[in-house]
Structure 1
Amino acid sequence: MAEIIEKLQHSLSFSIVWYALIVGLLISLCSSLLGVTLVLKRFSFIGDGLSHVAFGAMAVASVVGLTNNMFIVLPVTVIAAVLLLRTGQNTKIKGDAAIAMISVGTLAVGYMLMNLFPTSSNISGDVCGTLFGSTLILSLTPFDVWLCIGMSAVVLVIFVLFYNKIFSVTFDESFSKATGINSDGYNLLIAIITALIIVLAMNLVGSLLISALIIFPALSAMRLFKSFRSVIICSAVISVVCAAAGMLISLVASTPVGSTIVSADIVVFLVFWLISAIMGKTKT
């Protein structure tokens, strides 16, 4: 135990570790807030689709040689979110088919570009780091941290200001339209916020594990709570705690950050599922 504490203290003496913790907790908080809405609206897979789009955009940024790939990844992912929403409403191409087309296509193109125009001798390592976020979170600069803080603040402010509208659109879109709420506009807002979170989360868990960061805390909270507000609060607590635990465990055990955080989310989900099952049997 003393050795573990000493290792943690040594790791926490580096500024890059604190950068990772700050960014990780903010991303987890934002993901959990939006995750509840995405799960209830059956938009869960949009996170997976956009994460693949972000991977393709990051590959393009690497080929072009941009020092900060955010200038390409962010606008491309936001545009993809809008297109997914619009295409999903087309009767000829259903939402799940549109997500599958865009996600698989951009993932394939991104990997092909990284092989055709390699930026380093370790292509496999670059791809693995981008997909699973192995060490990217420990290479953040102060600019990245402040950018994450600013974007997270935007997400939180939007969610708080439009909480009632998001609640209404989430549960009954037809009724919302009947009462004069611009449901299409708020769906578009949700899609854009999702794109922002996807871009932020790529450095934390990688593009393939982002959906887990969004979905698992929401599903865990839904095992025990029924009201929208309670589920959101519980989901936020679970997400932040799992992110902190996952990052600290990864520092001690030298495991991949993204995979460790998602593993913590899975453990919590199983615990909540077990508790809900026991409570259900007790009531009956």
Structure 2
Amino acid sequence: MEKLIMYLGFPFVRYALIVGVLIALCSSLLGVTLVLKRYSYIGDGLSHVAFGALAIATVLNLTNKMIIILPLTILAAILLLKNGNNSKVKGDAAIAMISVGALAFGYLLMNVFPSSANVSGDVCSTLFGSTSILTLTKEEVIICGILSVCVLVVFVLFYNRIFAVTFDENFANAVGTKVNFYNLLIATITAVIIVLAMNLVGSLLISALVIFPALSAMSVIKSFRGVTIFSAASSVICAFIGIIISILGGTPVGSTIVAVDVVMFLICFVIGKVKG
């Protein structure tokens, strides 16, 4: 406990906790909708697109990599949504195609135009997360905070419409809800969350922040609102515990958070089975 209190005295630890909790909260809120709409794999696809965009930004030696990563990831989300039901390339095939292509393209760029002597280390850190969450500046925390607040505000303001689009698109469309617009909004918000989460858990583990809290909540709660609230609460708790364990134990931040999420899911799954 003394060691923990000592670490909490450092600004970089507080920054990591703030960013980690905000990202976990936003991811869990959107995760419920994505899982119910069978879009959970889109997070994985967009995370690979973000990796490819990061490789481009690294090759160009850009100081602010968000200038390239955020627009390209949002564009990919829009393209996946627009062409997801195309007769030639179905949604799951489009996600797989963009996902694998972006991952290969990014790795190729980082090898052909290396920005450091340890390319393998850079790639591994980007894919599985690194200590970059512990080197956040005050400006980066503020940017993350602003984007997170925007996501939360949008979710709260359009909660009823997102609920309608999630469960029955045909009915929502019939009563005048702009289904395409709200699907586009969901995809854009998902892209923003993916970009924010890259520093926390890495490209390959981002989907865990989206999927596990939602599945944990669905194991023990039945209502949409209850699932959303439980998912948000459990995700924040898991992120907080994961970061604390990582700091005290010296383990990788992203992997530790995901491991805690997995344990939470197993506990909720067992409780759900016992409750029937």
Distance 1:205 1:245 in 2: 14
Contact 1:246 1:257 (8 Å CA) reproduced: yes
Residue correspondence of structure 1 range 139-218 to structure 2 within 5 A = 139-218=135-214
Query: Which residue, 120, 129, 135 being the options, matches 1:133?
Result: 129
Match of 1:252 in 2: 248
Paired AA for residue 216 in structure 2: S
Contact 1:82 1:192 (8 Å CA) reproduced: yes
The CA deviation at 1:9 is 2.4
Pairing 1:86–2:82 present:
yes
Query: Which residue, 222, 229, 232 being the options, matches 2:225?
Result: 229
Q: In percent, how many aligned pairs have the same letter? A: 66
CA RMSD of aligned residues (A): 0.7
- Look up the SS of the partner of 1:199 in the other structure: helix
Query: Which residue, 60, 68, 71 being the options, matches 2:67?
Result: 71
Query: Which residue, 257, 263, 268 being the options, matches 2:259?
Result: 263
- Look up the SS of the partner of 1:212 in the other structure: helix
Residue correspondence of structure 1 range 88-107 to structure 2 within 5 A = 88-107=84-103
Normalized against structure 2, the TM-score is what? 0.99
Distance 1:6 1:129 in 2: 30
Paired AA for residue 264 in structure 2: V
Distance 2:85 2:184 in 1: 12
Contact 1:32 1:218 (8 Å CA) reproduced: yes
Give 5+ residue unaligned stretches, structure 2: none
Normalized against structure 1, the TM-score is what? 0.96
Deviates more, 1:121-130 or 1:75-84: 121-130
Contact 1:130 1:136 (8 Å CA) reproduced: no
Distance 2:8 2:220 in 1: 35
Paired AA for residue 219 in structure 1: L
Distance 1:246 1:105 in 2: 31
**How many residues are matched?**
276
Paired AA for residue 132 in structure 2: L
The 4+ residue runs of structure 1 with deviation greater than 3 A are none
The CA deviation at 1:278 is 1.1
CA-to-partner distance for each residue in 1:73-109, whole Å, 9 max, x for gaps? Answer: 0000000000011111211100000000000000000
